[in-house]
Amino acid sequence: MHDLETARRFFRLAPFMVDLGVEPIAVAEGRVTTALAIAPRHLQHTGQVHAGVSSAMADHTMGAAAQTLAREGTWALTADLKTSLLRAAKGERLVCEAWVIKSGRTLAFTEAEVFVEHEGRRTLVMKASATMSMASHVALAAPP
C-alpha cells in the first residue's frame, strides 16, 4: 500500500472509518496522513470533538502506516493503543499524521499526532502510540 488510491481502498474496507468520514490524504512508505471534516455528530456535549473520534482516527491511521510496510498477506492489527489528549479539539477539520518507528516480522511500533485546523491555524490536540501485531490469515470483511 504505497499509493493514495490503495490507501483509500484500505480505509473503505473499515465501515467505521467510512461512517466517521476519515480519509487518507497522503501516503508514503511507513507514513499515512488522514483528514476528517468535523461535523456535529463528532462532538460531545461540550462542543468539542469526542476523544473516541480522535482515538479511532489515530488508531486506524497508525495501522495504515504499518500496513504500508507489511508483507503480502499480512495485516496490521492493534495490540496496544495509548492516547494522550493535549487540549480540546474545536474547529473545522482534524488531520492525523502517523508513522512507523520500527517494523518487524510480527510487530510494528507506531506513533501519531492529531491536529485540529481552525481559521487557518493547526493545533496539536492528541499524541498517540500503538503496537501493531502483523497477523496473517485474517479474514477481511467485504467492502461496503
pTM: 0.93
- Residue 19 C-alpha cell reads as 461512517
Cα–Cα distance, 37 to 34 (Å, whole number):
10
User: Is pLDDT above 70 for 50?
Assistant: yes
Range of the domain at 130: 4-136
Domain membership of residue 86 (yes or no) is yes
What sign has the CA pseudo-torsion 105, 108, 35, 37?
positive
CA distances from 54 to 1, 107, 136, 140 (A): 23, 23, 28, 24
Strand partners, 117: 93, 122
CATH code, domain with 59: 3.10.129.10
What's the pLDDT at 72?
87
The answer to whether the beta carbons of residues 106 and 126 sit under 8 Å apart is no
Q: What confidence tens digit (pLDDT) does each residue in 6-28 have?
A: 999 999 999 999 999 999 999 99
Give me Rg for the CA atoms of the chain.
15
47 phi-psi bin (left φ>0, alpha ψ -120 to 50, beta other) = left
Residues 6+ apart with CB under 8 A from 30: 65, 68, 69, 99, 100, 103
User: Is pLDDT above 80 for 1?
Assistant: no
Q: What confidence tens digit (pLDDT) does each residue in 62-114 have?
A: 999 999 999 988 999 999 999 999 999 999 999 999 999 999 999 999 999 99
Domain membership of residue 144 (yes or no) is no
> Domain count of the chain?
1
Domain membership of residue 141 (yes or no) is no
Q: Which residue has the cell 497477523?
A: 135
Work out the angle at residue 79's Cα, subtended by the Cα atoms of residues 73 and 84, and round it to the nearest 5 degrees. 130
What's the pLDDT at 96?
98
Domain membership of residue 143 (yes or no) is no
- Quick one: angle between helices 51-67 and 4-12, nearest 10? 130
Confidence bin at 33 (pLDDT 50/70/90): very high
* DSSP structure class, residue 38: -
